[in-house]
Chains A and B, each alone.
Chain A
Amino acid sequence: AQKITQTQPGMFVQEKEAVTLDCTYDTSDQSYGLFWYKQPSSGEMIFLIYQGSYDEQNATEGRYSLNFQKARKSANLVISASQLGDSAMYFCAMRGRIQGAQKLVFGQGTRLTINP
């Protein structure tokens, strides 16, 4: 079974600072994918970034980067130069490549608040 753990229920950060959101995972699959989604108060889940388990480099998408440490089974999201619009819930998720390969398993989320 796959499991995602997000240990930070809430984070408060000053605008323009960098922030790291923690995510650890557990899986018996050798091949898997890791995702981060943002959910603003409107409710829609917005895809941010993806990391494959065999990708040699950490994924980056604009201000978002994924700090992937395979041996530690961690996939932390780093947001550089935070903005007020970054305030939202953030979910880490994973997908296996074998059985149940199409479903995403989500963590409980971290609520990020950016203070002006």
Chain B
Amino acid sequence: DTGVSQNPRHKITKRGQNVTFRCDPISEHNRLYWYRQTLGQGPEFLTYFQNEAQLEKSRLLSDRFSAERPKGSFSTLEIQRTEQGDSAMYLCASSPLRRGGHEQYFGPGTRLTVT
């Protein structure tokens, strides 16, 4: 059973550019989550999908951020017109849709640096 994978692992971009990250959840995990973690802080929730439906979004997810999960498999997170404040680790997690499936399994993250 392979874990959650994220690509790329690192991304350096110039301010104003668009970036897109990909997350592949554990197979057959219906639920997928995106979090953002800045240096010295715990992760902060961004958004949540159940299958292909985006069911919850944080107010942290400004209109420059968009997430998709076509066909309920992998997910992408796009940031348009990046700003230096977007520099962070972007973490993806997945969990099964079943009774007792409490824990979320995290991927290795994508570290974004905006110069």
A interface residues with partner B (beta carbon < 8 Å): 4, 33, 35, 37, 42-47, 50, 52, 91, 93, 95, 100, 102-109
Known: A102-B31, A102-B56. A42 touches B108 (CB 8 A): yes
Provide the main secondary structure of the chain A interface.
strand
Write out the residue numbers on chain B whose beta carbons fall within 8 Å of the beta carbon of A44: 106-109
Write the nearest CB–CB distance from B102 to chain A, whole angstroms.
5
20 additional contacts (CB under 8 A) given A35-B102, A104-B45, A105-B45: A33-B102, A37-B106, A44-B106, A44-B108, A45-B91, A46-B106, A47-B103, A47-B106, A50-B102, A52-B102, A91-B43, A93-B42, A95-B102, A102-B31, A102-B50, A102-B55, A103-B33, A103-B56, A107-B42, A108-B41
Write out the residue numbers on chain B whose beta carbons fall within 8 Å of the beta carbon of A95: 102
Known: A104-B45, A106-B43. A45 touches B106 (CB 8 A): yes
Query: In the bound complex, how far is the Cα of B102 from the Cα of A89, in angstroms?
Result: 21
Write out the residue numbers on chain A whose beta carbons fall within 8 Å of the beta carbon of B33: 102-104
Write out the residue numbers on chain B whose beta carbons fall within 8 Å of the beta carbon of A46: 106
Decide if B48 touches A103 in the complex (CB within 8 Å). Answer: yes
- From 37 to 58 in chain B, residues with beta carbon under 8 angstroms from any chain A beta carbon are 40-45, 48, 50, 55-56, 58
Decide if B31 touches A35 in the complex (CB within 8 Å). Answer: no
- Chosen A-B contacts, 29 in total, with CB atoms closer than 8 Å, are A4-B42, A33-B102, A35-B103, A42-B108, A43-B111, A44-B107, A45-B91, A46-B106, A47-B103, A47-B104, A47-B106, A50-B103, A52-B102, A93-B42, A100-B56, A102-B33, A102-B48, A102-B56, A103-B45, A103-B58, A104-B33, A104-B35, A104-B45, A104-B104, A105-B45, A106-B43, A106-B44, A108-B41, A109-B41
Write out the residue numbers on chain B whose beta carbons fall within 8 Å of the beta carbon of A35: 102-103
Known: A102-B31, A102-B56, A103-B48. A108 touches B42 (CB 8 A): yes
